[in-house]
Structure formats: C-alpha cells, structure tokens
Structure 1
Amino acid sequence: MAGSLTDEDRERAAEAERTQKAAADERARLATERARLEGEHARLEAEFQCLRDAERAHHAQRDALEVASIAALHAQAVAVINIRSLIPVVLDGESPNYTTWRSLFLLVVGKYELSDHVLSDIAYPDVPSWVRMECTVLSWLYGTISSKLVQVVMTPTSSARRVWLGLEEQFVGNKETRALYIDAEFRTFCQGDLSISDYCSKMKNMADALGDLGEPVLDRTLVLAVLRSLNERFSYMAALIKRTKPFPSFSEVRADLMLEELTAKNKPTEPSAFLAAGNGSGARSSGVNNNGGSSAGGHSAGGGGRNKNRNRRGGRANNGGGGAPGQNGGGHPAPRPGSPAPTPVFDVQS
C-alpha cells in the first residue's frame, strides 16, 4: 500500500504536515502573546489600582484638612463678638445702602464658609454643628440691620435664609415700580449745593439700586449723568471731560472733580491787606485836607465856607479858611498830592 503512493501523494502529505506544524506554531505563538498581554494587563490594572488608592488617600487627606479648616473657621465665626466691626454698614429701609450691605455680608459669610446658610434652601436641623452656625449667621443678620427692619423680618421660626429673602423682598420687591421711580430721580437729580463727594455718592447709589432691580447702568451712562447735572461752578469741567479721549471712567471723573473742588477752596483771595491799609490811609489824609479849620485871623467855619466858594469860582485850589491863596483855612500851605497831612496849629488868644 505504501509502495503504491506516488510522488504527488507524498508531496501532499508533506505539505499537510508542514501546514499542521505551522498552525501549531502559530497557536503556540498566539498563546504566548495572549499570556504576555494578560500579564501586561494585570500589571497595568495593579498600577491603576495603586493610583486610585493614592488618589483616594489624597482626597481623604484633603477632605480631612478641609473639614479641619472649616471647623476652625466656624470656631472663629462663633467667637466674633461685634459683627459691625466686619460689616460697618447698617441696613436701613430709608437709605439706599442695600447693595453695599449685601456685598459686605456675602464677603463675611464667604470668608467663614457660611454662604449656604443665606444662599441655599438646604437645611440640616438634625446636625448640631449646622444649627450652631445657623444661629450665628442669624444673629449677624439681626445685628447689621436697623431695629425697624428687625421687626419686619423677625418671626418665631425665622431662619437665616428666610430673613435674607425677606430683606431682599423689602429692597428688591416690585422691581418695575421701584426702577421707574429711581430711574426718574437718576435722570433729573441735580448737584445744587451738595459737595462733589456727596453728589457722586448719591448718583452711584442710584445706579447701584437700578442694577439690583434688573436695570444696570453702564459706567459711561453714569459719567454722562454726573456731568449733565453739575452746578454752574463745575460746568466748564463737564465740557472738558466730555472731550477727553478715551472717555474716562466714573472713578476718574470723581477724582478730577474732587481735585478741582479742593483747588477752588484753597485758592487765595486777590485783594491784599497792604492795599486795604493803603486805601484807608489815603482816605484819612484826604479828610484832613478838605476840612475847613479856623485861621489865624479868627475866621469862623462860615467864613471858611465862603472863602472855599470864592476859590472854586476863581479857579483856586484853596480849602475853607481865611488863609492866603493856595493855603488851607488854617493858614498852612496846601499839601502836595500824596504827602502827609500837616499838624494843625492853634493860636491862643489872650
């Protein structure tokens, strides 16, 4: 049977054997590669797990530090005795300082990680530490508003969030009506007798109030409104500032106007004391020369008057008295212009 195999059959058998061997080698190579890849995957998985563990440890450490930091901040917040040392503005329903008060209050609660007590509706009444800080923030709110506002927003079940919203309603409620009235005042307000500081503060407060009501005023619009309503003393400054390129900001305009106001206040007066004294001396000298005194010949005041009239008709420059031409009534020579008045001499008759 084997002798009956031809060369072609033997060639086919050899080819099949080679094919089987190649397939076996390929399977072995693939198995080896698979094992290598599985080992690499296991190694990468282990490294990734290590990285995740390290990240978890880092986050845990950071969270622990953050918790400790927040606890320390809360302890400092509880220790604040006078909240007005941190928030010097007292919110009053009759003054437009809501924007300033709100900004300062948010800065303080943000500093002590207590913003959620006024900005979030989420509460944790079962957590003692949260309740303690809620009381702290609520006391801050009551301590920085007027007594009238306290009576408006305080209730037996008040929370910091409810008081915050109540104050917001007091100052920002009815936005359209409030904006209408404030905008009208903003566009018609004039400086009058106000100082530059008070006038600019008033205009800035109205602009901020409009911004709180959803009607923001651009800085350029604020500057134009300030320049439009200046009094006559600073009207020339308005003309100069309008031509400035680039157009200045409100802070720059306020600084320029305050500097001009300070310069005008410290400007010296033009008449000097020396000139005033000189004018007074000349007046006294003139008064002495024009008075008709008694002459050596015993003329009376009436005679001096007649002599004065005669001199005026004759073109003479004599004053009253019975002296010689060109002399005063007392017999003295007429003084030259600018010379001091002569001392009068009195005759004693026996």
Structure 2
Amino acid sequence: MNYDAWKELFQTNSSSFRVKGHIRRESKPKYNKDEAWVNLDDLVKMWIYDIVTQSLLNMILKEDVTAHTVWTGLETLFRDNQQSRAIELDQRLQTLTLGDLTISQYCECMRVILDLLTNIISPVAAPTLFTYLINGLSPKYDNIITVLRH
C-alpha cells in the first residue's frame, strides 16, 4: 500500500476513535503530567509502531516524543524521498513488459505504478503512458500496435 492510502486509512481510524488530534497536534495535555492524555498519545504511537515495517520503526522510534512528532517524522521520511522514488517508479513503468501477464494484469500493474507516481505529485502524461503501454506489449500484439501508432 502506498503512503497516501495508508495515511488516509490511519487518519480515518484515529478519527473514529477520537484521537486524530494527537497526530494533528490539535490535542494537548490539559496540565503538566496529564496522565489520561499521555495514555491516549502512547496508544496512537503504539498503533503507528505496530503497523510500520521494522526498518521504518528503527528510523522513527525515539524516547519521550509525542504521537504528532512520530507522525510528522514518518511523513518527512516519505516526502523527502519523493524525487528518487519518482525516478524509480518511472523507470519501472518504462520497463514494464507484458511477459507472462494477462493484458488485465499488465494494465493493473501500470495502474498501480501510475497511482504511486500521482501520489508523490509526479503524474505521467497520457501520451507518455500510451507509449509505455504499447512498448511493453509482446510481439503477438504487433498488428494492434501498428494500428494504434498511426
């Protein structure tokens, strides 16, 4: 699952449990050492820690931080990596071939990569996508490719 989809699901979940303010920094302790607030904040941190990969956990796990700090740290990791991720995804899209996939599976693979590129604000123009699509088809589709190119 891509980061933006994960983020939306996590925010929806945290909203339904009325703790979304902990990741948005809208919730603050009522007084110093507000135990109820700290418990809820720790709960939100546990949710985050429980669903990220071990390598991400190693990068975001710090002592004495709030859920908001963990949340923004995670987002920073994903956003800072956008350009290299866009290059990698575009390369995958350019080199994707039909191979043993069905046309439906091939198009679904392309759609997933396109969604990921769109999520990191690097959408692919329709003419470019068309070129990638037909370039990845096998020789048995040469007649269709010829028609489509003209």
TM-score by length of 2: 0.70
Which of 13, 16, 34 is residue 111 of structure 1 equivalent to?
16
SS of equivalent to 1:123? coil
Return the offset for 1:129. 3.2
Q: Size of the alignment, in residue pairs?
A: 142
Return the offset for 1:150. 1.2
Q: Which residue in 2 is equivalent to 1:168? A: 75
Once the two structures are overlaid, the 10-residue window that deviates more, 146-155 or 195-204, is 195-204
Q: Which residue in 2 is equivalent to 1:307? A: none
Change (3 A) 1:231 1:116: farther
Say if 1:134 and 1:159, in contact at 8 Å, map to a contact too: yes
Structure 1 alignment gaps of length 5 or more: 1-95, 243-350
Return the offset for 1:131. 2.1
- Aligned letter for 1:152? M
Change (3 A) 1:128 1:195: farther
- Distance (whole Å) between structure 2 residues aligned to residue 189 and residue 197 of structure 1: 14
- Distance (whole Å) between structure 1 residues aligned to residue 45 and residue 8 of structure 2: 17
Structure 2 alignment gaps of length 5 or more: none
Change (3 A) 1:136 1:125: farther
Q: Which residue in 2 is equivalent to 1:78? A: none
Deviation by residue 1:166-218 (Cα, 9 ceiling, x = unmatched): 22222221433332332232233223223556544432332232223222357
Deviation by residue 1:242-276 (Cα, 9 ceiling, x = unmatched): 7xxxxxxxxxxxxxxxxxxxxxxxxxxxxxxxxxx
Higher RCO (CA < 8 A, seq sep 6+): 2
Which of 40, 64, 82 is residue 157 of structure 1 equivalent to?
64
- Distance (whole Å) between structure 2 residues aligned to residue 125 and residue 200 of structure 1: 52
Change (3 A) 1:231 1:210: same
Return the offset for 1:154. 0.2
Select the structure of larger CA radius of gyration. Answer: 1
Deviation by residue 1:125-152 (Cα, 9 ceiling, x = unmatched): 7344332221111111011112222111
Q: Which residue in 2 is equivalent to 1:120? A: 25
TM-score by length of 1: 0.34
Change (3 A) 1:215 1:130: same
Q: CA RMSD in A?
A: 3.2
Once the two structures are overlaid, the 10-residue window that deviates more, 102-111 or 194-203, is 194-203
Q: How is 1:308-323 mapped onto 2 (pairs within 5 angstroms)?
A: none
* 1:97 is the counterpart of 2:2: yes
- Aligned letter for 1:177? S
SS of equivalent to 1:158? coil
Say if 1:118 and 1:164, in contact at 8 Å, map to a contact too: yes
